[in-house]
Structure 1
Amino acid sequence: MARISAKQREENKTRFDNIIFNALMTGEWHKVSYQYIADQAGVNTRSTIQGYYPHDIDFIAAIQGKVLPVFMSYLNFESLDSFVTSWTESLEEAKFLNIVSMLTGNMNANAHALSIKGVSTLVEKIYALWGDEGYLAIELLLGRTLLHIAGIRKQSL
């Protein structure tokens, strides 16, 4: 089996990480798998990808540090009202909704620490800014987001 240089390995990892990040941004997070990455990268075998991501859950590490800045760019932190409004309006933005869907979709018994950290960082920031009112707003917004993702609208009830 041919060995690759450390430089080539790093270039490959960056390319694979970008494929994963782009899948998230374009609403294809649910498609991310060893085969998906191999196909997108033009790599012949899934085992090549497994050398970079030993477990499926490691795909989340590929987007570490890239997601939060995109997510936060949609939000207005000038006041609690502006925050709630910006979040609600951002539910109509595909990238924002893709990120929220990924974060909430990874909240289960096998949740990756990075998903939990992302949500925790946001909650801590909101709590630091607006205390209990901010925490209640996050609870409201996460519920609103879940209903939006499910396609449940008050008008249709």
Structure 2
Amino acid sequence: MARITQVQKLENQKHYDEIVLNLFLAEGHEALTYARIAQEIGISLTTLQGYYSSTRAIRSVLHKHMLSVVVESLDFSSEQGFIQSWQNALDDAQFRYVIKLMFFHASQVNSPEEFNISSDGEFRKKMFESFGTDSVRILETVVGRSMFYLTNFKQH
């Protein structure tokens, strides 16, 4: 079997990362199995594992894109605008996929320090600039509402 050059491997990695991202944006993180990704790319499972050594490596491709999906959907001009824009964004499949992945990540860690998908604090910074010390309270509100929304909780 012919070996590929480092340049070709990097080009392949970029192309595969794009396919992983597109699959996530179209179907959510549940679609990101080795078998499904290998099928989408058209390579063997063994070859795919050479590019992504774990499912965590697959999901790490998404992190830099998750923040933009969230931030672009939100109105940071006021607390009410932010909350309303978050609720409206939950009707968008890609936003929901990001929130579901965030909940999944949070369920997989042993301590809060291990959970950081904030892209080097950019979201945290934007929240603090917009809402100051109310940021945590506002996020608790929207994250709680997200959980209810995603679990189809309805008040009777």
- TM class by smaller structure: 0.7 to 0.9
Paired with 2:132 and 2:80, the residues of 1 have a C-alpha distance of 14
Q: CA RMSD in A?
A: 2.2
Gaps of 5+ in 2: none
Question: Take 1:70 and 1:137, find their aligned partners in 2: how far apart are those partners?
Answer: 19
Aligned residues: 153
Q: Greater shift after overlay, 65-74 or 89-98?
A: 65-74
State the identity %: 24
1:137 — aligned with what? 138
**1:34–1:49 CA contact under 8 A, matched in 2:** yes
Q: Which amino acid aligns with 2:131?
A: W
Q: Structure 1 length as normaliser, TM-score?
A: 0.86
* Correspondence list, 1:1-157, <5 A: 1-43=1-43, 45-107=44-106, 108-109=108-109, 116-118=116-118, 121-154=122-155, 157=156
Task: Give 1:115 deviation, angstroms.
Answer: 6.1
Alpha-carbon offset, residue 7 of structure 1: 2.3
Distance 2:98 2:130 in 1: 22
Distance 2:63 2:154 in 1: 32
Is 1:74–1:87's contact at 8 Å kept on the other side of the alignment?
yes
Q: Which moved more, 1:63-72 or 1:79-88?
A: 63-72
Contact 1:13/1:52, CA 8 A, preserved across alignment: yes
Deviation at 1:56, TM superposition (A): 1.1
